[in-house]
A = this chain, B = another copy of it.
Amino acid sequence: MENFEFYSPTQFVFGKDTENRAGELLKKYGAHKVLVVYGGKSAKESGLLDRVLDSLKKEGIEYFTLGGIKPNPRTDKVYEGIDIVRDNNIDFILPVGGGSVIDTAKAIAIGSNLEGDFWDLYTKKEDYEINPLPIGTVLTISAAGSEGSDSTVIQSLDGIKRGYHSDKVRPKFSIMNPELTETLPPYQTAAGIADMMAHILERYMTPSEDVLLTDELSEALLRTVLEEAPKVIENPNDYQARANIMWASTLAHNNLVGVGKVQDWTSHHLEHELSGLYDVTHGAGLAVIMPAVMEYIYKSDVPRFARLANKVFGIEMNEDNPEETAKQGIEAFRKFLKSIGMPLNFKDINAKVEDIPIMLESLGGDNIKEGAIQALDKDDIEAIYKLAANYSY
């Protein structure tokens, strides 16, 4: 186990009707003027936005709104938010939505208090010290884990997707009502499930040794997701299954299952190129990429992948041929993803094998350095993209 720090200071307020506590929580955390950020029509039409704004009014909290945040959120909306914040002396950001809305709010929170351009920070052109405005969230999608995480991912208008990490952007509070996820289309629900599984698995694929506790916790989360996922796909109103999945999505990404070890974010990096180029849903892109990464690297740590197959996917351990067990686990993962309606290859997401050179270039070309269990260079990544492109079923 490596030395580590674990810091997840967010107050999570979980359960039915909790969105009505937004005003009370904002007051507790010292908000006076709030920018409420949201996505499309659904927040308005469902009445959620009104309920949240009512709870602000009740506490006498002034607010401004910024709607229209899209999946794979863009820089332009961040700049728009920064202008509203600066023009109106806003002191707190309240995203009401999923990962895209929360990530945009985090970027606005960072950018508003920055002398330079926030995008220079995301693209690593500059390394400013940040002093972001505080944020609290009202979560509506179980997926990205941004409600408890230190990360935010934004995309430029020309399709460059980049992330930024800092403990300073962890929300002060996050309101999580599983009922709010019941109206999501099955495809979005499934893509969220693929996303949270990726957050667990990218931390699970570690070369670090003696991490039994985090392995056990990772497997516990994954088994829970596997057991509850079919229930919510079949019955979108299964509150209890929605609740277990929603809480799993947070614990998948607040780094509970990542401490004390080297992590491997290859799948996320490779997926960012897909959603950048084709505007595919992040979780769906991950469903295509992740098994391909695993297929390419599992021979570098057969015991770990065999353990995953056994403990999570219930494959009997083949003591004589653990490589076979490991392989079966990866196929079981693909079978599960397909069962919840996720894509498995390039064709399924209208991605083109001819575009792979563009993706490789964007990832750094000859300078590509990915992988943790196994070091991966440009040729390796090309091979992984091709495995993902050509997988047939």
Contacts and interface: CB of A to CB of B under 8 A. Distances in A.
A335 to B, nearest CB: 22
Contacts of A157: none
A16 B221 CA distance: 28
A223 B227 contact: no
Nearest to A248: B213
Interface string A13-28: 1111010000000000
Contacts of A6: 11-12, 14
Nearest to A219: B220
A12 B4 CA distance: 8
Which one of A3, A216, A228 has the highest number of Cβ atoms from chain B below 10 Å of its Cβ?
A: A216
Nearest to A224: B213
Interface stretch (A119-127, A239-247, A374-382): A239-247
A247 B210 CA distance: 12
Contact of A14 (B4, B8, B14): B4
A1 interface: yes
A247 B18 contact: no
A259 interface: yes
Interface size class of A (residues with CB under 8 A): 35 or more
A260 interface: yes
A247 B2 CA distance: 12
A1 B244 contact: yes
Contacts of A224: 212-213, 216
A48 interface: no
B1 A11 contact: no
Contacts of A247: 213, 259-260
Interface in A246-304: 247-248, 251, 256, 259-260
Interface of A: 1-16, 18, 209-210, 212-213, 216-217, 219-221, 223-224, 227-228, 240, 243-244, 247-248, 251, 256, 259-260
12 contacts: A1-B15, A2-B15, A3-B14, A3-B15, A4-B14, A5-B14, A7-B10, A7-B11, A15-B260, A213-B224, A217-B221, A247-B260
